Structure 1
């Protein structure tokens, strides 16, 4: 038997060994990440003793989570929506934190200077609060379109569970999407660069601006400028000069109008450009090339061919819209086919089959192809990496950043498991008790999210683009529960958003990984931010729904809720009418189902061609990203894409290549500043003018009617002679099939 002294010495030697190992994690200077972009931006050093969850963090984390979730939910309802980037909070919180460090008394409330890890944790909390809770859409369409209200508690439970279930998945995904060096998550590098910029003393040349000064000036300039296209001169938001050549020509309006294919349409409104796709200043250029290629092929090649060859009676309907129609082109009356919230077969027989714009139908087909291509692409390009990581996940660290993170206690797996099981139980109770959908549907929706989480995560970790599960989830439940709109959208939300939230949480874990934030602090910060955001989202939505007349309808000028209207259309297509009637053997849209096969096969030839011709431009072709390009259309318009891509070229290609120093210093700061200036202007204009119903007087730069709105109406209307908005006659060469409707007021 060994003596107590020997045991003590052995324990002491073991402790000293552990301390030595941890000390060695400060790393030799030459060891770094194998990824050049990461090595250039992310520090290979750490300071494990920096305080993180301080009083300053709690104040700023709660405050900014509340503000960001309110701002983004408010702008989500707006006719021209926008999202306030987390970069804004990242910038604003820096001087706020330094101010608190200066004025608070030294001690537990103020443990030294405001440090970078506190700052990262504030941003992580804001990241979780910055998105809009998708389940709010269910509340909106229930109240506005279906005249239902399950109550605040039911709404909140649904939001809470759908927003946090993905957190449990992230606990498993971190081994494959956080620890490996190859999983870079490009969007995080933007935030890392910003953190390092703010907390590192800049060596400025005489007369050179700091990044923070640049941010303040750019924010002020955008705030002042945004009043021009956003209030005084709205025509600048969509300069459709092609349509203006001959506004009476419906084809020119369809091709060049802002509401149509947007060929040549120019927008000088930052809010319009980033409304649906986010900032083009932060997306890698190669990913933008794939988006551009997908957009041009789908929107400017496939759609015009389909429309002008009258595929699926395309010319009876507008060229680009999410609205619903009868076979004769009239608006589809959903109330006629519903009884007690389910499909009424006699009413459906009277109303007839549902028709949608050919563009809308094609985007569903492209979505099918994108989903199946994601499976093939993941298997072809990443199967070996996945197998290797599976073997190494518990025994080997991949790079220096993972080694440095060994200094901190990891979050136990049972924390994630308990959260996942608990939220699943609450979800089952909520859906069954309040009647959202049957209990078994909860498990099926979660199963779909679990299956697709890893392949989707691989794509997002490498490309910053995320294919969605919204189509496949509504497709599956539409066949199982036909004629049930609310169960359909609930199933879609649970399956789709659980996966999306898993991606958000995993991305944030990678940001914390880069910045060496203790994992347990990240766990609680993410959970807090998500819970606060869900509550604020719901309170804000209820406030607007109860105070704004005609909200989410065509009668409202400021709050048309394009996202909610598209969500409602989807609930009718997949829930009320259901896939069997909409895309089944008897439907004219049946061919859409073949897109599943097309997408599954499409990556295969590109894979073998790339192997045959390595180190060529083919290395940048990414089929799932290409097919996901038009995923936001509708409600996004074509000119949103073209202007977004133009700015992306200017900054991510031209500025990066020819003015690289300026690009590295200021591009991401400029993006955050423009977001901030637009947000401040939008809120101020609403609370000063909008809430009182005050609008700028009509003039040619702010017309009552958009002269290019004919693009929203079909070619086939009653023939000839009917007056158009300019008092002339529409030319006889166009064949029409229903009464002409004047354009709606300018949006």
Structure 2
């Protein structure tokens, strides 16, 4: 098969250095990781890559690579970090949806969906990393290309056929297998209401209804991706950092497989070396030497001093000057993701929120007058007035209504002070996301709308990405775009299914609340997707969804079953949650020049394969671990605790049974609704300051209140370690290395990000298989694994 490369510009110009200084993409405000100006930027028009001379950002996969000047319309709108990674050439003859793709998709989606769903009932989880699929599928694809016969097979009773082995294993097959696994090898939000209804109310949802509902909530989110894709997918100024990380690994694997160079060899050696090191290292903090997970220096100095222990402890304390060498503590902090991916400004906001929460508010509450309720300061349990755990199940009648007698006996619900201000800032982050997009994000949205209108006026062009003139969008014009009616058809399938199930009384919610759920989901898709695309920060809003449902059902008779809140949250939450991930994976397809229709199919196909597996896991767990999950029996292994389900039930009881009106009348809860007002006003104030003082050193446009409030809402009571260490690491990687060692950063940063996450997930899988899958094997206690406190904070 001869390669045919699509080219739009082949003229050579006088190039200037492709560096962040010349990257003129300037979102308003500038929120990409290239906002810092490197000091040792490229000095020449080309850089060394192995033994080759290439122009930065241009693929060296062919002998006639394209070259572009920085002011060329083909590249000037693409951020420098993207140009350094993504190939600007495409071979449209590469195979996509082949027989090998379907074999490998089934191979990875089925076990991935099983392990991911099972984890949500257990205390310890079984990870299934997308990087694991990305690495293993490449080697298996190469093997299949060697062993499968090149037979042409005709599909029975049709005129269609396919070849079992159409040629060498291609990068597009590789990408599509990984995207399918990312869509299907995961858990399903709708498992919570299915589980709660059966565990706590004795109501088993029909298996057919459950599977269709689980499929429908996913498809709702996928259809909602159409709302934002013209803004967030095709516009080159939105990098989608997780997508960029995976693209870096895809490109490295592709070059090493097809056109090995000194750089690609070094990148793969580094990747597997770091992967092996992290895999082995994580056995120390996770199993052998837990003290490495939280090194509380103040506890070492004063191991029997209660005050010093509380200040220094990372588990149940303030975490002051506490260091961690556990990647699980250093990464994925406050929904920010890997420190190698998240922009430095985002990580600064998260660390400042941690400082305010743990080093200012907690001591003010413990030793000052912040908060009148003094029990359970750092507890995440619902408590009684005297500080004991509230017997929430006693509030439920068999009919799923509030037991007024039990409520009068136990008194009003109470929460620890940290949980209370966490709820306040959680509400603030929700309205802040909308206000921030309406102020700081409006210029980009307005520009995108103007481009769309210009395209619609030009009758000669009907492709969605015509309004963008960068090389990546130009290459994608070679393929048929996904028509809007595909998304509409998906939505109608889910809409008709859920409407029928709700109308038949199968899903515990009034039918009109379903319309509100999809309406609110549609509203937040763009602001939350925009935030994730520019900051790698994913805003969780499940609690707000359940609060909104609680407000709505208080006004109608019936529908007081707490399961309804979980149903509503599944619909409204997945509407934006799945939309974000669909857009992120479509961005990978965009970067890797995959036909959009093939990407769309791979996502829907992966999810459709994974959902029956998800339900099979739910059914098996409920049939075999029922008494452990309800608490009727104690699991000897302490693994089948169902913490996620129990937590969801607690929130549902608060908002549905007790109700927001009664809850917020209590003195400790009264200030919480003002969080919505604070989240609405703060972005407006900051935007006004930014317009008044656009060149201020305070950089008001970087003080994203959505991220700050959401990080403040994080519950640090169980884990306050890792944030200080993570901030130090982010300073080294995303500030110092980027600014002063830009060449090394550009070549290896995203490879390191993939290696760290892959090594950690592989280690977690090994620990589960070796020490937790059957009989629980505990590590013997020693100095670094003290039986009373692994941190040696004995007075805490």
Asked if TM exceeds 0.5, the reply is: yes
Shift of 1:304: 2.9
- Distance in 2 between the 1:219 and 1:546 partners? 38
2:445 aligns with one of 386, 394, 398: 386
Counterpart residue number, 2:50: none
Whether the aligned pair in 1 keeps the contact of 2:786 and 2:792 (CA below 8 Å) is: no
Shift of 1:75: 4.1
Whether the aligned pair in 1 keeps the contact of 2:290 and 2:790 (CA below 8 Å) is: no
Counterpart residue number, 2:489: 418
Whether the aligned pair in 2 keeps the contact of 1:552 and 1:559 (CA below 8 Å) is: no
* TM-score of the two chains, using structure 1 as the length reference: 0.85
1:568–1:273 CA distance, 2 compared to 1 (3 A): farther
1:374 aligns with one of 419, 433, 439: 433
**Gapped regions of structure 1 (runs ≥ 5):** 1-21, 711-725, 731-742
- Distance in 2 between the 1:152 and 1:647 partners? 47
Counterpart residue number, 1:15: none
Counterpart residue number, 1:430: 501
1:656–1:237 CA distance, 2 compared to 1 (3 A): same
Superposed, which structure 2 residues align to 1:551-630 within 5 Å? Answer: 557-583=638-664, 585-611=665-691, 612-614=693-695, 616=697, 618=699, 619-630=701-712
Matching of residue 262 in structure 1 with residue 309 in structure 2: no
2:343 aligns with one of 240, 261, 284: 284
Shift of 1:149: 3.5
Matching of residue 51 in structure 1 with residue 95 in structure 2: yes
Shift of 1:236: 2.8
2:75 aligns with one of 32, 36, 41: 32
Larger proportion of helix = 1
Further displaced range: 642-651 or 522-531: 642-651
SS class of match (1:332) = coil
**Gapped regions of structure 2 (runs ≥ 5):** 12-66, 69-73, 152-162, 457-465, 555-559
- C-alpha offsets along residues 606-635 of structure 1, whole Å, 9 cap, x if unaligned? 223333133745143222122222454268
Superposed, which structure 2 residues align to 1:234-245 within 5 Å? Answer: 234-245=290-301
- Distance in 2 between the 1:388 and 1:229 partners? 49
- Distance in 2 between the 1:441 and 1:198 partners? 48
Shift of 1:369: 1.1
- C-alpha offsets along residues 567-590 of structure 1, whole Å, 9 cap, x if unaligned? 33322222232211222x344211
Matching of residue 79 in structure 1 with residue 123 in structure 2: yes
- C-alpha offsets along residues 625-647 of structure 1, whole Å, 9 cap, x if unaligned? 22222454268622243343333
1:515 aligns with one of 570, 574, 592: 592
Superposed, which structure 2 residues align to 1:311-710 within 5 Å? Answer: 311-317=370-376, 319-340=377-398, 341-393=400-452, 394-395=455-456, 396-400=466-470, 401-431=472-502, 432-482=504-554, 483-544=560-621, 546-547=623-624, 550=628, 557-583=638-664, 585-611=665-691, 612-614=693-695, 616=697, 618=699, 619-633=701-715, 637-690=719-772, 691-706=774-789
- Distance in 2 between the 1:621 and 1:85 partners? 32
Counterpart residue number, 1:172: 227
- C-alpha offsets along residues 669-707 of structure 1, whole Å, 9 cap, x if unaligned? 333334333433433443343212332333343344337
1:251–1:544 CA distance, 2 compared to 1 (3 A): farther
- Distance in 1 between the 2:207 and 2:372 partners? 43
- Distance in 1 between the 2:290 and 2:206 partners? 39
Shift of 1:448: 0.6
1:568–1:399 CA distance, 2 compared to 1 (3 A): farther
Counterpart residue number, 2:251: 196
Counterpart residue number, 2:132: 88
Whether the aligned pair in 2 keeps the contact of 1:552 and 1:564 (CA below 8 Å) is: no
1:521–1:636 CA distance, 2 compared to 1 (3 A): farther
Whether the aligned pair in 1 keeps the contact of 2:339 and 2:729 (CA below 8 Å) is: yes
Whether the aligned pair in 1 keeps the contact of 2:129 and 2:761 (CA below 8 Å) is: no
Counterpart residue number, 1:716: none
1:156–1:586 CA distance, 2 compared to 1 (3 A): same
Whether the aligned pair in 2 keeps the contact of 1:563 and 1:635 (CA below 8 Å) is: no
Whether the aligned pair in 1 keeps the contact of 2:197 and 2:204 (CA below 8 Å) is: yes
Shift of 1:235: 3.1
- Distance in 2 between the 1:508 and 1:41 partners? 16
1:360–1:638 CA distance, 2 compared to 1 (3 A): same
- Distance in 1 between the 2:413 and 2:293 partners? 33
Matching of residue 149 in structure 1 with residue 204 in structure 2: yes
2:276 aligns with one of 207, 220, 230: 220
Shift of 1:267: 2.7
SS class of match (2:141) = helix
Superposed, which structure 2 residues align to 1:83-162 within 5 Å? Answer: 83-106=127-150, 108-144=163-199, 148-162=203-217
- Distance in 2 between the 1:97 and 1:386 partners? 41
Shift of 1:478: 0.7
1:129–1:342 CA distance, 2 compared to 1 (3 A): same
Counterpart residue number, 1:229: 285
- C-alpha offsets along residues 83-141 of structure 1, whole Å, 9 cap, x if unaligned? 54423322222222222222223352222222222222122112213543222233444
- Distance in 1 between the 2:630 and 2:735 partners? 39
- Distance in 2 between the 1:89 and 1:64 partners? 7
Shift of 1:392: 2.4
- Distance in 2 between the 1:33 and 1:191 partners? 23
Alignment size in residue pairs: 689
Shift of 1:61: 2.0
- C-alpha offsets along residues 30-52 of structure 1, whole Å, 9 cap, x if unaligned? 22251333333222222222211
Shift of 1:447: 0.7
Shift of 1:407: 1.4
Counterpart residue number, 2:157: none
SS class of match (1:325) = coil
* TM-score of the two chains, using structure 2 as the length reference: 0.80
SS class of match (1:407) = coil
Further displaced range: 417-426 or 186-195: 186-195
Further displaced range: 228-237 or 280-289: 228-237
Whether the aligned pair in 2 keeps the contact of 1:88 and 1:672 (CA below 8 Å) is: no
